[in-house]
Chains A and B, each alone.
Chain A
Amino acid sequence: MSIGEYLLRRLWLGLLVILGVLMITFIVSQIVPGDPARLYTGPRASSEEVAKVRQELGLNEPVPLQFIHYIGRVAKGELGYSVRTKRPILEDIKIKLPATMELVVVAMLVSFLLGVPAGVIGAARRGRWFDHISRLAGIGGVSIPHFWLALLLQLLFFLYLGWLPLGGRISQEIMLNAPIERITGFYLIDAAVTGNWAAWRDVLRHLVLPVVVLAPYPTAVALRMTRASMIDILSETYVTAARAAGLNEREILFRLALKNGILPTLTIIGLEFAFLITGAVFVEIVFTWPGIGSYMADAILNSDIFVVFGVTTIVTFIYITVNLMVDLIQAALDPRVRLGGGQGRF
């Protein structure tokens, strides 16, 4: 199967899945207790106003028809309006998404830069102190509830030490004196591209704590995955053969073995993404980060149901896309995956 055929097949499956996702979201939305129209207008609206909204929202039609309308609306990008901000949900999401994405991407990068080498070394030095320490650290990283960690770090670094800011993406003075030109919405990139180094440093300071909170889990996952995969690889005959040929351990580990072992580590990108995006909800609350995480949290607090649905839908779509891309990269890198066979190791 060529890459093209594989891509088409995955796209087709993806489409079916998206349909299913919409169906589930729709079903869940039907369970909402109370009158959605009233939720929309607020408790003080008159019954005529509520009836009018019901008509507008198409709530009087039979359910399957509503579903079709729903798909249509989503396809057009109409996710409804936020009761709280009174803006179209899609607009809100568009504005807030880059903030969250910046967090997610930085955390993921950190996790790979730390986790993969640690996993490789841990696999090579099994049973010795580095391995035990990093494994324990890995499990610790996976076990810490991030919302608690966030609070603790805030306590320590802001309240007691005063080193890092309480929250937000940038400080007031930067916003006033050296505002960042909004190109991509990723402040790190935008500030760097425009040479605004004062702002860049400020953004970095604000990023530290949220990333420190979010990074341990994906780092631990990356470490575990790399270590497990490397342990398998190091027991392969070709590694012994390389040793028999006199190559040194460093080259064997980081060039010959790693290239084989990196593939399963890629699969966790999807997993990490899921964790990071949901973890962002908690982290953004604590650090008042203006992303879709806090948007979601506020919506939950205020029972702004449509926002919850809208954000979940959009994030799920992004998640599906990320997984699709990871699958494609895997298929491109390892011809055995495309053939559907492979050694069953992965």
Chain B
Amino acid sequence: MEDHLLRVEDLQVVFPTPHGPVYAVNRISFAIRAGQIYGVVGESGCGKTATGRAILGLIPPPGRINGGRIIFRGENLLEKSAYEMQHLRGRRLAMVFQDPAAALNPVFTIGRQLLGIMKHHRIASDGRYGPRAVQLLGDLGLPAPERIVKRYPHELSGGMQQRVMIAMALAAEPDLIIADEPTSALDVTIQSQILDLLVQLRDQRGVTIIMITHDLGVVAETCDEVGVFYLGEIIEGGTVRDIFHRTRHPYTRKLLASLPNPEKWGRELDIIPGSVPTNFENIKGCAFAPRCKQCMAICQTTKPKSAVFSTTHHTACHLYGERESG
């Protein structure tokens, strides 16, 4: 009995380069229930975007999915043909992109783009798409939607563009939306509006959302459960409370500590020494070992197995050995 909307098991995504293969996503596993907002958080280059693209089947060649399963609504997406995947996209799975200006086609009006999606998926049984489009835009907080429909993307502000893009993702009423850094390109004030909007979507329409972000603040505001990514691996996963209040992994601790905090006024910024390396070979030990203050000898030779603290909270770190839930 499958009670998770999406279950990712052992997913591996590899990109061949002249210098050797890069494992952007290195055997990750996580699961999401319907109606949840799941956060995928980490620095740039840690595999968050690749994970999102993999779920949608949009890994650009020469990259490819090397192994694992993606179980969506009980079916393994990786076993589906390209044709079947194309039909799932938009209708069941959708994506919201980071830069709304780049994600909207500059030579078509908003209306045409929205209608294109709706008509393709045959959403309206009565054939009246125009009013539906206007209605959707209005629901998402756009003022005067009947006029927006006639405008071109470059005539709208960033916040409005992002709402339009969310509208396009919602157009075919999908079950799961992957939001890839949906607010990174926006002003701070607009950011919180968009985040509120996304949470509202979950509350009112029951849409499940994967929130990909590098900003822990966004995670705190919106997410129910979180997976912390580093170098293509999930090094800690759990509910928001688990991650923020019962932090286990040294990397997660460092991430939280590096958030600007008025209480630490006057002290040096707590940074993580070194920078994220590019993943050229399958690293033998723990991926974070070179930069970890609490690194032990074993960390450099063996990959840490998952240590489980509760039904939701787990981490991969040698500090905790192998623990089963107590």
Q: Do chains A and B touch in the complex (CB under 8 A)?
A: yes
CB-based contact B97/A241 at 8 Å: yes
How long is the Cα–Cα vector from A238 to B152 in the complex, in angstroms? Answer: 14
Chain A residues with CB under 8 A of B87 = 246
Q: Which residues of A contact B108 (CB under 8 A)?
A: 256, 259
Q: Mark B154-181, 1 if CB is under 8 A from A, else 0.
A: 0000000000010011011000000000
Cβ–Cβ contact A247 & B97, under 8 A: no
A251, B102: Cα distance in complex, Å: 19
| CB nearest to B101 among chain A residues | A237
Let me know if A266 is at the binding interface, CB within 8 A.
no
Is the CB–CB distance between A244 and B107 below 8 Å?
no
From B90, B99, B106, contact of A245 by CB (8 A): B90
Contact A259 B95 (CB under 8 A): no
- B21 at interface (Cβ–Cβ under 8 A)? no
On whether the beta carbons of B105 and A260 are closer than 8 Å, the reply is: yes
Please count how many residues in chain A sit with their CB below 8 Å of the partner chain's CB atoms. 16
In this assembly, does A268 line the interface, its C-beta being within 8 Å of a C-beta of chain B? no
Q: Which 6 A-B pairs have the closest CB atoms?
A: A246-B90, A246-B89, A237-B102, A244-B95, A245-B90, A241-B103
CA distance A242 to B107 in the complex (A): 14
A243 sits at the interface (CB 8 A): yes
Q: Which residues on the A side are within 8 Å of B107 (C-beta)? A: 259-260
A260–B121 CA distance with the chains assembled, in angstroms? 24
Q: A247-B116, A247-B117, A260-B105 are in contact. List 12 more A-B contacts (CB 8 A).
A: A240-B58, A240-B97, A241-B104, A242-B105, A243-B58, A244-B94, A246-B88, A246-B172, A251-B116, A256-B108, A259-B108, A260-B107
Is the beta-carbon distance between B58 and A238 smaller than 8 angstroms?
no
**Across the interface, do B104 and A238 meet the contact criterion of CB distance under 8 Å?**
yes
Residues of the B chain whose Cβ atoms lie less than 8 Å from the Cβ of A248: 86, 120
Q: Within 8 Å of chain A (Cβ to Cβ): is B37? A: no
Q: How many residues on chain B are close to A (CB under 8 Å)?
A: 28
Query: Whole-angstrom distance between the alpha carbons of A107 and B111 in the complex?
Result: 38
**Within the assembled complex, what's the spacing in Å between the Cα atoms of A256 and B121?**
17
Kindly state whether residue B249 has any CB partner on chain A within 8 Å: no
* Interface residue A236 (Cβ < 8 Å from any Cβ of B): yes
A164, chain B: closest CB distance, angstroms = 43
Given known contacts A244-B94, A245-B94, A247-B120, is B89 in contact with A256 (CB within 8 Å)? no
Please tell me if B318 contacts chain A, counting CB pairs below 8 Å.
no
Q: Which residues of A contact B102 (CB under 8 A)?
A: 236-238
Residues of B close to A236: CB separation below 8 A: 102
CB-CB under 8 A for A244 and B56, given A237-B97, A237-B99: yes
From A238, A247, A251, A259, B90 is in contact (CB under 8 Å) with: A247
**Contact status of A245 and B89, CB under 8 A, knowing A256-B108, A259-B107:** yes
- For B121, what are the chain A residues with a Cβ–Cβ distance below 8 Å? 246
Tell me if B91 is interfacial: C-beta within 8 Å of chain A. yes
Contacts A238-B102, A238-B104: A244 and B171 contacting too (C-beta < 8 A)?
A: no
Instruction: Given the known inter-chain contacts A237-B97, A237-B99, please indicate yes or no for A244 contacting B104, CB distance below 8 A.
Output: no
| Complex contact B89–A244 (CB within 8 A) | yes
A241 touches B120 (CB 8 A): no
Within 8 A of B (CB), among A249-280: 251, 256, 259-260
CA distance in complex: A248, B165 (Å):
19
Most buried by A among B94, B105, B171: B105
Chain A residues whose CB sits within 8 angstroms of the CB of B86 once the complex forms: 243, 246, 248
Residues of chain A contacted by B105 (CB below 8 angstroms): 238, 242, 256, 260
Q: Could you give 10 example pairs across A and B, Cβ below 8 Å?
A: A238-B105, A244-B58, A244-B169, A245-B94, A245-B120, A245-B171, A246-B120, A247-B120, A248-B120, A256-B105
On chain B, the residues within 8 Å of A251 by CB distance are 116, 120
B88 touching A241, Cβ below 8 Å: no
Question: In the complex, what residues of B have CB within 8 A of residue A244's CB?
Answer: 56, 58, 89-90, 94-95, 97, 169
Q: Residues of A contacting B120 with CB < 8 Å?
A: 245-248, 251
Within the complex, the shortest CB–CB distance from B121 to chain A, in Å, comes to: 6
- A245 lies within 8 A of B103 (CB): no
How far in angstroms is the closest Cβ of chain B from A66?
Answer: 52
Contacts of B89 in A (CB 8 A): 243-246
Within B96-146, the residues touching A (CB, 8 Å) are 97, 99, 102-108, 116-117, 120-121
Given contacts A236-B102, A237-B102, A238-B102, contact A245 B168 (CB under 8 A): yes
- Complex alpha-carbon distance, A240 and B121, angstroms: 17
Residues B285-318 near A (CB distance < 8 A): none
Chain A nearest CB, measured from B55 CB (Å)? 11
Chain A residue at smallest Cβ distance from B104: A238
**Bound-state Cα–Cα, A244 to B56, Å:** 7
Interface centre among A237, A238, A247, A259 (most CB of B within 10 A): A238
In the bound complex, what is the Cα–Cα distance between A243 and B58 (angstroms)?
8
CA distance A248 to B97 in the complex (A): 19
